[in-house]
């Protein structure tokens, strides 16, 4: 077993770390406060090849592996977790399904602009009545001549207010239940009948837009169906398995930022005549944070390695997302505690890390659902 990185992986990690430190960290608080979409940062990430890391170069991507994805995304999220989720959704939830299930023609038209970072992508699965149980979705798609006509609303869609393209799931055969769901690539800028609905005002990741996608007799060309009718839910769930490596990496990056801040602060803050880092109560918090973050990182790298090596990684991705998001959230709670009153105020980034960490336990499958997936695999002997 080799825990070392290849030259390319190390270079990707260093590049992402430098970009996070120099470009993202200094402006993260302002963007959070103003709920400002980081358009410039996203363009720069595209130029670095980070908006389509695992997409082959012929389709505008960087042609790298998923280990590189974990390394880059965790560093980017260490700098700004909002930029992290935008990068994660672009790579995992848009590029992945188009790359995996799309035809060559679809990849040329719809993957290249997003993987190269010229446009942004999003993923529309969730609805008001269909969250943890996406099979309850009500958005429909009916074939009418040369187009599928979509009606319905997708809820909580990351990048939904800024994206040019979306992968959207809809019911094409109600009688077939979950086997009657199909997925489509939608050109959001050129589809009459599509509009952006409510944009959410959130607790955290405030610089990343979360919006409703509204379809009212929206005509999507027949050729934009991904794969075969009825394959949609399976495609979406496979996409989410891979996506959880992304969200786990985002969580890891937030956790790392917390640990850095807490370490630095604890060595400078003097109480009772000594730095608070001299108190064992503080040292134990730091040690617990570092241990659970390292454990999460190893789980993430294992899941990414399994994906790179075409192994079944559903359980490992769920474990990694569960461990990383719980590690980030508990680190952030203790991080605020270590900073005391300063941890509660916006003068320091710790309260933002705590707000940002929370969502990683919720989206792309809540942590209750992660435990369910892990247990289901265990009970099947996997």
Q: Of the residues 23, 40, 364, 368, which is catalytic?
A: 364
List the one residue out of 298, 297, 296, 303 whose CA is nearest residue 323: 296
Helix ranges (H only) for 188-279 are: 232-268
Helix ranges (H only) for 20-65 are: 25-34, 39-48
57 is catalytic: no
Which helix (H) or strand (E) element contains residue 196? strand 194-199
Q: For residue 382, count other CB atoms closer than 10 A to its CB.
A: 11
Q: Which bin fits 227, alpha (ψ -120 to 50), beta or left (φ > 0)?
A: left
Determine, following the binding rule CB under 6 A, whether residue 206 of this chain makes contact with ligand FAD: no
Q: What residues does 271 pair with on adjacent strands?
A: 274
Determine, following the binding rule CB under 6 A, whether residue 126 of this chain makes contact with ligand FAD: yes
Of the candidate spans 141-149, 188-196, 266-274, 357-365, the one that interacts with ligand FAD by CB under 6 A turns out to be 357-365
Determine, following the binding rule CB under 6 A, whether residue 363 of this chain makes contact with ligand FAD: yes
Give phi and psi for 120, each to the nearest 5. -110, 150
Span 154-173, contacts to ligand FAD by CB under 6 A: 156-158
* 35 or 202: CB nearest ligand FAD: 202
CB of 133 to ligand FAD, least distance (A): 7
* 103 or 132: CB nearest ligand FAD: 132
Span 74-103, contacts to ligand FAD by CB under 6 A: 89
Structure tokens at 94: 């848009």
Q: For residue 84, count other CB atoms closer than 10 A to its CB.
A: 31
CB of 177 to ligand FAD, least distance (A): 17
Determine, following the binding rule CB under 6 A, whether residue 360 of this chain makes contact with ligand FAD: no
Q: How far apart are CA 331 and CA 280, in angstroms?
A: 17
Structure tokens at 315: 């359980």
List the one residue out of 127, 22, 104 whose CA is nearest residue 58: 104
Of the candidate spans 32-40, 48-56, 126-134, 261-269, the one that interacts with ligand FAD by CB under 6 A turns out to be 126-134
Strand 121-124 to strand 165-171: parallel, antiparallel, or no bridges (unpaired)? parallel
CB of 155 to ligand FAD, least distance (A): 7
Determine, following the binding rule CB under 6 A, whether residue 265 of this chain makes contact with ligand FAD: no
| Position among 52, 61, 124, 243 found at the interface with ligand FAD (CB under 6 A) | 124
Instruction: Report how many residues bind ligand FAD under the rule CB under 6 A.
Output: 22
| Position among 5, 27, 109, 131 found at the interface with ligand FAD (CB under 6 A) | 131
Determine, following the binding rule CB under 6 A, whether residue 364 of this chain makes contact with ligand FAD: yes
Whether the Cβ atoms of residue 171 and residue 138 lie closer than 8 Å to each other: yes
> What character string, x for contact with ligand FAD (CB under 6 A) and - otherwise, covers 207-226?
---x----------------
Structure tokens at 95: 């590029």
Contact residues for ligand FAD, defined by CB under 6 A: 89, 122-126, 131-132, 156-158, 202, 210, 359, 362-366, 368-369, 372
What are the catalytic residues?
A: 364
């Amino acid at each position: 077993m080799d825990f070392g990185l290849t030259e390319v992986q190390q270079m990707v990690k260093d590049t992402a770390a430098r970009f996070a430190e120099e470009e993202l960290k200094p402006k993260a608080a302002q963007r959070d406060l103003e709920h400002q979409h980081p358009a410039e940062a996203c363009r720069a990430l595209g130029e670095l090849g980070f908006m389509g890391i695992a997409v082959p170069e012929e389709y505008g991507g960087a042609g790298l592996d998923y280990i590189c994805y974990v390394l880059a995304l965790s560093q980017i999220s260490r700098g700004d977790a909002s930029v992290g989720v935008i990068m994660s959704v672009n790579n995992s939830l848009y590029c992945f399904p188009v790359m995996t299930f799309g035809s060559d023609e679809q990849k040329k038209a719809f993957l290249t602009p997003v993987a190269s970072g010229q446009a942004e992508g999003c993923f529309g699965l969730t609805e008001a009545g269909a969250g943890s149980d996406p099979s309850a979705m009500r958005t429909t798609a009916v074939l009418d001549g040369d187009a599928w006509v979509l009606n319905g609303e997708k809820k909580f869609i990351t990048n939904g207010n800024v994206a040019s393209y979306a992968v959207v799931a809809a019911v094409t055969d109600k009688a077939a239940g979950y086997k009657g769901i199909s997925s489509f690539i939608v050109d959001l800028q050129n589809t009459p009948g599509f509009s952006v609905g409510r944009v959410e005002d959130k607790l955290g990741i405030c610089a990343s837009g979360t919006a409703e996608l509204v379809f009212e007799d929206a005509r999507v060309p027949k050729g934009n169906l991904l794969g075969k009718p009825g394959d949609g839910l399976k495609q979406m769930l496979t996409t989410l398995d891979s996506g959880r490596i992304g969200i786990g990496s985002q969580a890891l990056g937030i956790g790392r930022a917390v640990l850095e801040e807490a370490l630095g602060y604890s060595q400078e803050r003097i109480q009772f005549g000594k730095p608070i880092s001299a108190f064992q109560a503080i040292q134990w918090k730091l040690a617990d944070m570092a241990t659970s973050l390292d454990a999460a990182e190893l789980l993430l790298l294992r899941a990414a390695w399994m994906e790179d090596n075409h192994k079944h990684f559903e359980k490992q991705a769920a474990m990694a997302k569960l461990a990383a998001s719980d590690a980030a959230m508990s680190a952030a709670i203790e991080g605020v505690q270590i900073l005391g009153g300063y941890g509660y105020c916006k003068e320091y980034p710790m309260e933002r890390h705590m707000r940002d960490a929370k969502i990683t336990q919720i989206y792309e499958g809540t942590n209750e659902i992660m435990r369910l997936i892990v247990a289901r695999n265990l009970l099947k002997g996997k």
